[in-house]
Structure 1
Amino acid sequence: MAQTKPTAAGLHEPTTERIRQQPVNRRVIWGAGFLAFAAFAMWANHATNEADLAASRDGLLLYAGIPGHSIAAWFLIVALLGGTAGPVLLIPALIAKIPRKLPRRIIGWTSLVAAAAAVPYVGILSILAYMGVYGMGDSLRIVAPDGQSVIVTQDDFDGDSVDIYIPNDDFHYKWVRSAPEISGWPRVEDQDCHLDSADGVLRLTCGSKTVVI
């Protein structure tokens, strides 16, 4: 029985299809992974903000190495990165799977316009996240020789608002007093501040000024 010899096009077509489809599948997986990670980071951002607000209503400061608002801002930055990388990988890969040329082009251009419209929104969120990490004032943790610690916060504008917190539990510090004595300039973090404990009294010294806590 005579066999039909496969054509060069017939031999080439499956190989071309495999080469084209394999990167697309990989991009879909990575894009979906980035979006899932971004969704988790947004949830963590919301949960941290809520915990920070709840603590502030009780006169507490959420602190886990860095203040709660900074933790929330870092989660927002991660969410923005994942939320940007995910669609960049996922959308072109899905559009490439559309078999008809005209719908593929329409959806592609529509996606491009939508991405351009989202740029200002992402930019604003990025600025807010940056301010949350670096522009919300100073939080300085100072430890005494016996291990006791305080956190001193100072606003980021004229520096005239200084507050002192002492430990309340593993992740919260409790407000105890304001400290106008060490407010203004130079800022607290730029002064030579140290904490001493004697007779059950904490004394915070910054330069030539001492605050009894």
Structure 2
Amino acid sequence: MNNVLNHISYQEHSRSIDAASTSAEINPLPKARCFHPVTEIVHSYITQRLKEIGIDEIIDIGGVGKLNDRFSKVFNANISQGVDGCRLPFADGSFQASISIATLEHVHDQVGFLKEAVRVAREISLHWFPFGEQGRKIEQFKEMMGHRHPCEIPKQEIIGKAMLGYHYEIIPFVTCSEHLLCLACLYPQLNTPDLYRFIFENMDTYCGAVLKVNKKRKTEP
């Protein structure tokens, strides 16, 4: 729970399947005012990781302006500008870094999306999404509780296919308890014995992950 206490964005489910599959914009959007504690934790984590290595220019694919005040240059890739996130209209290495937050799980062509994100980044590409068996369990539980969040949990083999030739790692980030307690703050209807029973049974198991791709390191063919 330290992550929640230290890093308390927009609802991740507001990034619809179409918005994630079709997205990218050249002009920064005004700073968004909606707030979501789960993605705020992720924003803080990604900001810290990028600042540590001197990154200050990013493209946020599926972004709605949440990171505008954290970096000097932010390009928000959003469907409202009518650009396909799987066919970004930028040359290779156009940005220091590319990121996506709670977006990959809404994309039909996840391989194409990741390949494009990595292509336009010069140094690093970071993506947070629900992941693994716990990610699936928590999505099923939320739907059972009436909090529907249609998505396709990214699979290890899909990531491996997209990242062929690149050095990457999958870093567990955001536990089941953090995720559900944050949601319960926003949606009082989730505050039921079933929610806390699920938290107790799954506690500090991870339901989300960050995919980190280092463009400066290549793997052997």
TM-score (norm 1): 0.23
TM-score (norm 2): 0.23
The structure whose Rg is larger is 1
Q: Higher helix fraction: Structure 1 or Structure 2?
A: 1
Greater relative contact order (Cα < 8 A, sep 6+): 2
